[in-house]
A and B are shown apart, each in its own frame.
Chain A
Amino acid sequence: MASLTFFLIRLMPGSPVEAYIANLVSQYNLSHENAQAQAASLFSLDLNAPVYQQYLEYLGNLVRGDLGESLVSRGVPVSEIVMAYLPWTLFSIGTALIISFSVGIMLGMLMAYKRESKLDHILTNLGSIVSSVPDYLMGILILVWVGVQWELIDVTNMRGTLSPGVQPGLNLTFIGDAFYHASLPILTYVLGTIGLWMLTMRGSTESTLGEDYVTVAKARGLKERRIATAYVGRNAALPPFTQLSISIALVFGGSLLIEWLFVYEGLGYLLYNSIQQRDYPVMQGVFLIITTMVIVANLLADLLYSRLDPRIRVAGRD
Chain B
Amino acid sequence: MAATTGESRFRDSVVGRVLAWFGSTLKLMARNRVGFAGFLVVSTIVLVTFIGPIFLPSEQEVDVSEIYETPSWSHPLGTDSEGKDVLVQVIDGGRPILIIGFLAAAISTTIAVSLGSLGAFLGGRTDTGFTWLADMVLTIPQLPLLAVLAGILRLNSKIAVAALIGALFWPTLMRAIRAQVLSLKERDYVESARALGLGTPHIVFREIAPNMAGYIAINFTLAVTAGMYAVVGLTLLGLVPLSENNWGVMINLAWTRGAIFSKDSVFYIMAPIAAIALFQLGLVAMNRSLSEVFDPRLRRGA
Contacts and interface: CB of A to CB of B under 8 A. Distances in A.
B140 A132 contact: no
A134 B147 contact: no
Contacts of B229: 134
A4 B139 CA distance: 12
B144 A144 contact: no
Contact of A144 (B153, B225, B266, B284): B266
Given A144-B269, A260-B237, A287-B148, A137 B276 contact: yes
Interface size class, chain B: 35 or more
A136 B147 contact: no
Contact of A252 (B141, B232, B261): B141
B111 interface: no
Given A148-B260, A275-B151, A134 B276 contact: yes
B152 A12 contact: yes
A134 B251 contact: no
A20 to B, nearest CB: 12
A253 B141 contact: yes
A76 interface: no
B138 interface: yes
Contacts of B142: 249-250, 253
Contact of A290 (B141, B153, B232, B281): B141
B263 A148 contact: yes
B139 A246 contact: no
B281 A132 contact: yes
B260 A134 contact: no
A226 to B, nearest CB: 34
Given A253-B143, A257-B233, A143 B260 contact: yes
Majority DSSP secondary structure for residues of A touching B: helix
Contacts of A144: 260, 266, 269-270
Contact of B233 (A12, A136, A143, A149): A136
A4 B236 contact: no
A114 interface: no
A298 interface: yes
A39 B249 CA distance: 35
Contact of B280 (A14, A133, A278): A133
A246 B261 contact: no
A230 interface: no
A257 B152 contact: no
A8 interface: yes
Contacts of B276: 134, 137
A283 interface: yes
A134 B226 CA distance: 9
Contacts of A12: 152-153
B217 interface: no
30 contacts: A1-B140, A4-B140, A8-B149, A8-B152, A128-B284, A129-B281, A132-B283, A134-B233, A134-B276, A136-B236, A137-B232, A137-B273, A140-B255, A140-B260, A140-B273, A141-B273, A144-B266, A148-B266, A155-B261, A252-B141, A252-B144, A256-B147, A257-B236, A271-B147, A272-B237, A275-B151, A283-B148, A287-B148, A291-B140, A291-B141
Given A12-B153, A132-B281, A252-B144, 8 more contacts: A15-B152, A141-B273, A149-B263, A249-B142, A257-B236, A257-B237, A291-B139, A294-B141
The 6 A-B pairs of least Cβ separation, nearest first, read A253-B143, A253-B141, A275-B151, A132-B284, A133-B277, A134-B229
